[in-house]
Amino acid sequence: MYTTSDFRNGLKIEFEGGPYLIVYFQHVKPGKGGAFVRTKLKNLKTGAVLEHTFRSGDKVEKPDLEEREMQFMYKMENQFHFMDTKTYEQIYLDEDHVEEAGSYLIENLPVKILFYRGEPIGIDIPFFIDLRIVETEPGVRGDTVSGATKAAKLESGAVVQVPLFLSEGDRIKVDTRTGTYIERV
């Protein structure tokens, strides 16, 4: 059990029969009346965000969550297929469970799949991934302005802004949280 004093950003709780992630919380102690905690919660199954106020000292359950190391195998239509690296069991997730992480998945990429009561509900990919540029416009010499960028399509299908000096075939490091170019590898 968690109490409101345990609340922090990123904590996963059981609320109204489902798994939720605390996106934001604020302890409030008004001059008159009891203290309370304002929260913004994200449903881990549906992605819906709601706001809820807990009284100070309220208790919530710990969710039945399990995180497993898996490996991305391939994408077929709108399903992403993964394999457990220990048991070799294969599962698939729909695009709505993978969300924006799907644009950075390449074969054999190790990921963490979040399970709620044995059902896969989400995916965590590494913060930084090395990817190859497969398509980009050539940079024109002398046509540079400080910090000029161009669009580049990566082997995973994602499109990011990169400096003009990069060309097709170059490997770059990408921050998957923001979708930005970090450095050439």
Q: What are the residue ranges of CATH 2.40.50.140 in the chain?
A: 65-124, 128-184
Distance CA 4, CA 78 (A): 39
pLDDT, position 144: 57
- Identify the CATH class of 128-184: mainly beta
- Identify the CATH class of 65-124: mainly beta
Q: Which residues of 110-145 are buried (b: 16+ CB within 10 A; e: fewer)?
A: ebebbebeeebbbbebeeebebebeebeeeeeeeee
Confidence at 100, pLDDT banded by 50, 70, 90? confident
User: Does domain 2-60 fall into CATH 3.30.1230.10?
Assistant: no
pLDDT, position 142: 62
Residue with more model confidence, 41 or 100: 41
CB atoms inside a 10 Å sphere around CB 182: 15
140-165 pLDDT per residue, tens: 666 556 678 889 999 988 999 998 88
pLDDT, position 94: 85
Q: What are the residue ranges of CATH 2.30.30.30 in the chain?
A: 2-60
pLDDT, position 83: 93
Ranges 8-22, 89-103, 138-152, most confident? 8-22
